[in-house]
C-alpha cells in the first residue's frame, strides 16, 4: 500500500507535500517522510508514525526546495521505524515507493557484492541503489529504464536526483499513479484525491509507463522508453471536501451519512417517474447471462455474499462469490457467457485488480462497482457502476458497504426484470421498498444510544460471535469484521445453523453474542439457534424487527430495527452492527479512523 506524492514547482513544495500526504494517510500511517532538493542537496526527513509527527519535525527544521517527494508507509518489509521509513536516499538519488519488490533479497545480494551497503530492511532501498549505480554510466532515461527492468513485483515510484535539478520522476507497474497538471508546477500522487487541492487535471500512468515532471511540462514514456501521449481527465470537484465537520471522527460521520448517501444513490439509478432502473449497456445481454461471479475483498466481499443471496432469490442465474486473493490464483474456468463483477470502495485493491486483469486477459465481460470513479478498477472494467457514497476516509468501511449492497441490489433487480425472472407487480413492490431505504436507515440511526449502552457488555469479552441465517449471514460476517478491525476483540460471523457443528463449544457463561434475526423465512430457525446459545450461558444482543414480547426474558437486549421487507432488512441490520463496533472501540480507547496494522486502500497482495 503506502501513499506517494511528488511535486516540481516554482515555489517551495514541502507544505504542499505534507498536505497531500495527509490525504494519503488512508493508505498507511506507519511512518512518513519527505525529500526535497535544496540548493543541489537532497534533504531527507522522516519519522515513524503519522504525518503530524513529520509536520512537527518540519516545524522545528523546515525543508526548502521547489521540488520534492513524500511518502506515507504501510509496512511490508521491515518494522515501522524511522530507518525503514521512506524516502530511501543516497547522495545522488531519493526514492519513495508503493508496492512490493519481490526480488529485493536477490538484488540486495547482487549489489552488496558490488560494495553497496544497505541501511534499512526495506525492499525499496534496492531501487535507490540500482538507480544510483546505473547513473554512473548511463543517461537518465536509460538508468530509469534499466532499473525498472530489474524489478519484479508491483510498484509506483517517485524519484528526485541531485544532478537533475528540475525534475521529478514517476513510474508505475501494478500500483496506481496519477499525474496532475498545474500552472508552472506538476505533480504525481497515488491518487487524484491527494492532488485535488492543487489541480483537477489528471492523467494516469499505465502499467510499465514512467514519466518525467518538469515545471512546465510532463513527458511520458512506455515500457520500451518510447515517448507517448496521455489523455487528460478533469476530475469532478463534487467530492472534494472530506472533513469531519462536527463529528468526533470520520467513521461516525460516515455512519451518519448513510441515509443521505443511499438517497443520492437511489436518485442516480432510479427513474422514480417510471419506476425504472437506469442501468444500461450491461456488457452481456441479461437474457444470455449464464452465471454471475462476484469478486472482492473484506467488506466489499461481504456485499458480494449478500448479492449472492439476492441473485439466487430474484433471478434464475447461477452465482458464485469469491475472495479476490483466492480467485486470482485459482484455475477458475472463465466463460464468455458469465458476467464478472468486481466490487471495491477504493477501486485500487491489488487482489481485486489482479483478479479483474485475469478476466480481462481472458476476454470475459467485467463490471466494476466502485466508489472512486477515477480508480484503476473503474478504468479497467468494461462497465462501471459508481456507488455515489462520497469519500470514505475511516479505514473501517461503512457507507461504502451500504452503497455496494444498494447498487448490487439495483443491478440484480434490473437483470431480473429484463429476463422476466420477476413479474412486473413484484418488481414494483420491491422498488417501493427500495425507495423506503433512506428513511428507514434514518430511523435506525436515531437509536444509537441503545447500542452505546449495550457496547459495555463487549469491552472485556475474550471473544464474540455474530449469528445469522440467509440474508443475515453476510451481515453477521460484516459485523464480526467491523468489531475485529476496530476494537481488536476476536469475533466470528457464523451461519447460525452451523453452530452445533463445532463453534457452540466456544460459548461460555456471560459471553456476549449478537444474533441477527429479522422476521423472514429463517426467523424461527434462528430463534432456535439463539436458544441453544442462551442455554449455554451466552448473553444475547438480538437485532430484529420482531415486536413480540415473548422472547424478551431470555435475551440480554433486543435492538429493534424498523419493520421492512426481508429483501431490504440487510440495510437496516447493518446500522446497529456498525454502531456496536464503533462504541466498543471507543470504550476501549482504540483509534477509530486508523485501526492498528491496517490501511484504507490495500494496494499490495
Ligand atoms: C473494511 O472495513 C475494510 N477495512 C476492508 O475489509 C476493505 O473492505 C477491503 O480492504 C476492500 O477494500 P476495497 O473496497 O477498497 O477494495
Tens digit of pLDDT for each residue in 519-568?
Answer: 999 999 999 999 999 999 999 999 999 988 766 667 899 999 999 999 99
Residue corresponding to grid cell 469491552: 459
Active site residue 304: no
Give domain status of residue 496, yes or no: yes
* Residue 292 confidence (pLDDT) above 50: yes
Question: What is the predicted pLDDT for the residue at 502?
Answer: 92
pLDDT tens figures, 80-139 = 999 999 999 999 999 999 999 999 999 999 999 999 999 999 999 999 999 999 999 999
Nearest residue (by CA) to ligand 1, atom 6, is 298
- The reply to whether 181 and 97 lie within a common domain is yes
CA of 489 to the centre of ligand 1 (A): 18
The CATH number for 123's domain is 3.60.20.10
Give domain status of residue 278, yes or no: yes
Active site residue 600: yes
Using N-to-C axis directions, what is the helix angle for 569-587 and 424-445, rounded to 10°? Answer: 20
Q: Return the SS3 of 583.
A: helix
- The reply to whether 250 and 383 lie within a common domain is yes
Nearest atom in ligand 1 to the alpha carbon of residue 296 is 16
Contact at 8 Å (CB) between 5 and 158?
Answer: yes
- The reply to whether 431 and 508 lie within a common domain is no
Give domain status of residue 239, yes or no: no
The number of distinct structural domains making up the chain is 3
Question: Which domain-ending residue is among 401, 424, 445?
Answer: 445
The CATH number for 256's domain is 3.40.50.10490
Question: Which domain-ending residue is among 234, 254, 286?
Answer: 234
Question: What is the predicted pLDDT for the residue at 154?
Answer: 86
Contact at 8 Å (CB) between 70 and 33?
Answer: yes
- The reply to whether 393 and 521 lie within a common domain is no
- The reply to whether 431 and 453 lie within a common domain is no
- The reply to whether 197 and 256 lie within a common domain is no
CA of 473 to the centre of ligand 1 (A): 18
Strand partners, 178: 189, 204
How is the beta sheet containing 557-560 ordered, strand by strand?
Answer: 490-495, 463-468, 512-516, 539-544, 557-560
- The reply to whether 122 and 139 lie within a common domain is yes
* Residue 353 confidence (pLDDT) above 90: yes
* Residue 312 confidence (pLDDT) above 60: yes
Containing H/E element for 261?
helix 258-269
- The reply to whether 482 and 366 lie within a common domain is no
Question: What is the predicted pLDDT for the residue at 242?
Answer: 64
pTM of the predicted model as reported, rounded to 2 decimal places = 0.82
For residues 192 and 597, what is the distance between their CA atoms, to the nearest angstrom?
A: 24
* Residue 453 confidence (pLDDT) above 80: yes
- The reply to whether 440 and 460 lie within a common domain is no
Contact at 8 Å (CB) between 541 and 514?
Answer: yes
Does residue 300 line the site of ligand 1, with CB under 6 A? yes
Give domain status of residue 240, yes or no: no
With cut-offs at 50, 70 and 90, classify the pLDDT of residue 240: very low
Mutate to test the pocket of ligand 1, among 602, 603, 604, 605 (most ligand atoms within 8 A of CB): 602
- The reply to whether 294 and 319 lie within a common domain is yes
Does residue 352 line the site of ligand 1, with CB under 6 A? yes
CA of 493 to the centre of ligand 1 (A): 17
Containing H/E element for 25?
none
Question: Which domain-ending residue is among 419, 445, 471?
Answer: 445
Give domain status of residue 167, yes or no: yes
- The reply to whether 316 and 455 lie within a common domain is no
Give domain status of residue 280, yes or no: yes
- The reply to whether 439 and 454 lie within a common domain is no
Q: Return the SS3 of 159.
A: strand
Which three three-digit cell numbers place residue 203? 492523467
Give domain status of residue 277, yes or no: yes
Mutate to test the pocket of ligand 1, among 251, 295, 298 (most ligand atoms within 8 A of CB): 298
Task: List the domain range (segments joined by +) for residue 307.
Answer: 245-445
Which three three-digit cell numbers place residue 425? 407487480
For residues 191 and 401, what is the distance between their CA atoms, to the nearest angstrom?
A: 21
Residue-wise DSSP of 369-416: EES-TTSHHHHHSSEEEE-------SSS--HHHHHHHHHHHHHHHHHH
Percent of the chain with pLDDT over 70: 98
Give domain status of residue 113, yes or no: yes
Cα distances (angstroms) measured from residue 21 to each of 234, 359, 593: 22, 33, 16
CA of 297 to the centre of ligand 1 (A): 6
With cut-offs at 50, 70 and 90, classify the pLDDT of residue 143: very high
Q: What contacts 331, CB < 8 A, 6 or more positions away?
A: none
Amino acid at each position: 500500500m503506502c501513499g506517494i506524492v511528488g511535486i516540481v514547482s516554482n515555489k517551495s513544495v514541502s507544505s504542499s507535500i505534507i498536505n497531500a500526504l495527509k490525504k494519503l494517510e488512508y493508505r498507511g500511517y506507519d511512518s512518513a517522510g519527505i525529500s526535497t532538493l535544496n540548493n543541489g542537496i537532497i534533504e531527507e526527513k522522516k519519522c515513524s508514525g503519522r504525518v503530524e509527527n513529520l509536520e512537527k519535525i518540519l516545524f522545528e527544521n523546515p525543508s526548502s526546495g521547489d521540488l520534492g517527494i513524500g511518502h506515507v508507509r504501510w509496512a511490508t518489509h521491515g518494522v515501522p521505524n524511522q530507518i525503514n521509513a521512506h524516502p530511501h536516499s543516497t547522495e545522488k538519488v531519493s526514492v519513495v515507493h508503493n508496492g512490493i519488490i519481490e526480488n529485493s533479497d536477490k538484488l540486495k545480494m547482487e549489489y552488496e557484492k558490488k560494495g553497496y551497503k544497505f541501511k534499512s530492511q526495506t525492499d525499496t532501498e534496492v531501487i535507490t541503489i540500482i538507480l544510483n549505480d546505473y547513473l554512473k554510466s548511463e543517461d537518465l532515461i536509460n538508468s530509469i529504464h534499466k532499473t525498472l527492468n530489474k524489478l519484479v513485483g508491483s510498484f509506483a515510484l517517485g524519484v528526485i536526483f541531485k544532478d537533475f535539478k528540475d525534475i521529478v520522476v514517476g513510474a508505475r507497474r501494478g500500483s496506481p499513479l496519477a499525474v496532475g497538471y498545474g500552472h508552472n508546477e506538476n505533480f504525481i500522487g497515488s491518487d487524484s484525491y491527494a492532488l485535488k487541492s492543487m489541480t483537477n487535471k489528471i492523467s494516469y500512468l499505465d502499467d510499465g509507463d514512467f514519466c518525467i515532471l518538469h515545471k512546465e511540462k510532463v513527458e511520458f514514456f512506455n515500457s520500451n522508453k518510447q515517448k507517448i501521449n496521455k489523455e487528460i481527465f478533469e476530475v469532478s470537484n463534487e467530492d472534494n471536501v472530506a472533513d469531519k465537520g462536527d463529528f468526533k471522527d470520520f467513521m461516525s460521520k460516515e455512519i451518519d451519512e448513510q441515509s443521505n448517501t443511499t438517497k443520492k444513490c437511489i436518485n442516480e439509478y432510479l427513474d422514480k417517474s417510471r419506476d425504472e432502473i437506469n442501468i444500461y449497456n450491461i456488457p452481456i445481454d441479461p437474457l444470455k447471462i449464464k452465471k454471475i461471479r462476484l469478486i472482492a475483498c473484506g467488506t466489499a466481499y461481504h456485499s458480494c455474499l449478500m448479492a449472492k443471496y439476492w441473485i439466487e432469490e430474484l433471478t434464475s442465474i447461477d452465482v458464485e462469490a469469491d475472495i479476490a486473493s483466492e480467485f486470482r490464483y485459482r484455475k477458475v474456468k472463465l466463460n464468455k457467457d458469465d458476467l464478472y463483477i468486481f466490487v471495491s470502495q477504493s477501486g485500487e485493491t491489488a487482489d481485486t485488480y489482479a483478479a479483474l486483469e485475469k478476466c480481462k486477459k481472458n476476454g470475459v465481460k467485467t463490471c466494476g462497482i466502485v466508489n472512486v470513479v477515477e480508480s484503476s478498477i473503474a478504468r479497467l472494467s468494461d462497465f462501471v457502476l459508481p456507488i455515489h457514497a462520497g469519500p470514505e476516509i475511516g479505514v473501517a468501511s461503512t457507507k461504502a458497504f451500504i452503497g455496494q449492497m444498494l447498487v448490487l441490489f439495483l443491478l440484480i433487480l434490473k437483470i431480473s426484470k429484463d429476463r422476466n425472472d420477476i413479474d412486473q407487480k413484484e418488481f414494483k413492490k420491491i422498488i417501493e421498498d427500495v425507495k423506503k431505504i433512506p428513511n428507514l436507515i434514518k430511523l435506525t440511526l436515531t437509536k444509537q444510544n441503545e447500542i452505546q449502552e449495550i457496547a459495555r457488555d463487549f469491552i472485556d469479552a475474550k471473544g464474540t460471535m455474530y449469528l445469522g441465517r440467509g440474508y443475515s449471514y453476510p451481515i453477521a460476517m460484516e459485523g464480526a469484521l467491523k468489531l475485529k478491525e476496530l476494537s481488536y476483540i476476536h469475533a466470528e460471523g457464523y451461519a447460525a445453523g452451523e453452530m452445533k457443528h463445532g463453534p457452540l463449544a466456544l460459548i461460555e457463561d456471560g459471553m456476549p453474542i449478537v444474533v441477527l434475526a429479522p422476521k423472514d423465512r429463517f426467523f424461527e430457525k434462528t430463534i432456535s439457534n439463539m436458544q441453544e446459545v442462551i442455554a449455554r450461558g451466552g448473553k444475547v444482543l438480538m437485532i430484529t424487527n420482531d415486536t413480540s414480547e415473548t422472547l424478551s426474558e431470555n435475551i440480554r437486549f433486543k435492538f429493534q430495527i424498523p419493520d421492512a421487507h426481508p429483501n431490504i432488512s440487510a440495510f437496516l441490520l447493518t446500522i446497529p452492527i456498525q454502531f456496536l463496533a464503533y462504541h466498543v472501540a471507543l470504550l476501549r480507547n482504540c483509534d477509530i479512523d486508523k485501526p492498528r496494522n491496517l490501511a484504507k486502500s490495500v494496494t499490495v497482495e
